[in-house]
Amino acid sequence: MAGPTGTRFLLTGVAGFIGMHVARSLIAEGHEVHGVDSVNDYYDPELKRARLAEIANLPRYSFIETDLSDKAKTAELFETVRPARVVHLAAQAGVRYSLENPHAYADSNVLGFLNILEGCRTSAVEHLVYASSSSVYGDRNTVPYSTEDRADHPVSLYAATKRANELMAYSYSHLFRFPTTGLRFFTVYGPWGRPDMAVYLFTKAIFEGKPVKLFNNGDTWRDYTFIDDIVEGVKRVALSDPKFDRSDDGHVPAKVYNIGNSNPEKLLDLVGTLEEVIGKKAVREMHPAQPGDVYRTFADISDLQRDFGFAPSTSLREGLERFVAWYRKYHGIV
């Protein structure tokens, strides 16, 4: 049975791109959201503060600024909020940044996730939905990526920590029988998006007349997924009964799903569409592949469609038009 109107959610990473949108949508449907974020400076904190301002005055919403890697503070958070369900989106993001600051990933993505699991266990949370990543698949030649595929060859520390989250969640579901569902996100974009992601970076460069850096000489493919489609998928999972996985000792309430557009686009085609939407040509600058990058991502979402009716509907062009419109407004570009 889906979570009733008025379900109390703890939503981590609420100052983040996906987190802000999920919070706003849950609140619009009558749910209670207690948002958490450390508002770190991995990218411009002003953008995070602006996202928080967008939802600050909504009903049935509160915000707590804290660091989830702090065991005592996270335990206190669960004691205070007493959530029925948890959507855990907080993480140290970025593949390339993990080459520069690996300890940030251990603190946030491993220790922070452990503290969330402990909070869910001690608070008898009905369902934990958490963010994983398509990066767990590594650089695979076989597409589309299926959750039935092995995911034990990560090519970045970021990917390794997200795979670790999946294994940690399974162990807690097995030991303590509380339900966990991981969602492997595939290249999310849209209004209020992250400034370190390709769509934002390319849009900024085109408007400013600066080079658009195309790694692997532009020969990469990504399963670009518009934020509204992602939010709908997250909500469907978070408000539904969790699904069970079969293991040798019986049913374990742990599942992992891909959540993406299931329609990869070539990087050069993305740039071409952005040029048309903006009405200005990009200065293209070719570069070799970067360490940790993968050639192609492509989500098999058949199980998410089957179990939750997930069906992305936003075309790349429509999504880019909506992102560019937001970008113009946010940055005051006429």
pLDDT of the residue at 141: 74
Please determine, for residue 72, whether its predicted confidence score (pLDDT) is greater than 80.
Answer: yes
Residue-wise DSSP of 163-226: HHHHHHHHHHHHHH---EEEEEE--EESTT--TTSHHHHHHHHHHHT-EEEEEGGG--EE--EE
* β 265-266/32-37 pair status: unpaired
- As a whole number of angstroms, the distance between CA 209 and CA 226 comes to 25
Mean pLDDT, to the nearest integer, of 84-101? 92
Q: Ramachandran region of residue 279, left (φ > 0), alpha (ψ -120 to 50) or beta? A: left
Q: How confident is the model at residue 245 (pLDDT cuts 50, 70, 90)?
A: low
CATH architecture of 8-188+225-262+298-313: 3-Layer(aba) Sandwich (3.40)
* β 254-259/8-12 pair status: unpaired
Residues 189, 319: contact at Cβ < 8 Å?
yes
Q: Which two tokens stand for residue 41?
A: 């400076």
pLDDT of the residue at 76: 98
- As a whole number of angstroms, the distance between CA 298 and CA 301 comes to 9
Q: What are phi and psi of 90, to 5 degrees?
A: -65, 135
pLDDT of the residue at 249: 52
Q: What are phi and psi of 274, to 5 degrees?
A: -60, -40
pLDDT of the residue at 157: 94
Residues 84, 178: contact at Cβ < 8 Å?
no
Active site residue 158: yes
Mean pLDDT, to the nearest integer, of 52-60? 98
- As a whole number of angstroms, the distance between CA 103 and CA 217 comes to 31
Domain layout of the chain by residue ranges: 8-188+225-262+298-313
Average predicted confidence (pLDDT) for the chain: 94
- As a whole number of angstroms, the distance between CA 148 and CA 241 comes to 22
pLDDT of the residue at 1: 36
pLDDT of the residue at 246: 56
The active-site residue, picked from 158, 172, 189, 257, is 158
Mean pLDDT, to the nearest integer, of 57-67? 98
Q: Ramachandran region of residue 124, left (φ > 0), alpha (ψ -120 to 50) or beta? A: left
pLDDT tens-place string over residues 168-205: 999 999 999 999 999 999 999 999 999 999 999 999 99
pLDDT tens-place string over residues 291-320: 877 888 889 999 999 999 999 999 999 999
pLDDT tens-place string over residues 36-45: 999 999 999 9
- As a whole number of angstroms, the distance between CA 130 and CA 19 comes to 11
Q: Which two tokens stand for residue 321?
A: 């038009």
Task: Give the bridge partners for 246, in sequence order.
Answer: 251
pLDDT of the residue at 250: 55
Residue 329's contacts (CB-CB under 8 Å, 6 or more residues apart) are none
Q: Which two tokens stand for residue 147?
A: 């959750």
Please determine, for residue 73, whether its predicted confidence score (pLDDT) is greater than 50.
Answer: yes
Q: Which two tokens stand for residue 244?
A: 């069970």
Helix (H, G, I), strand (E, B) or coil at 62: strand
Q: How confident is the model at residue 279 (pLDDT cuts 50, 70, 90)?
A: very high
pTM for the complete prediction? 0.95
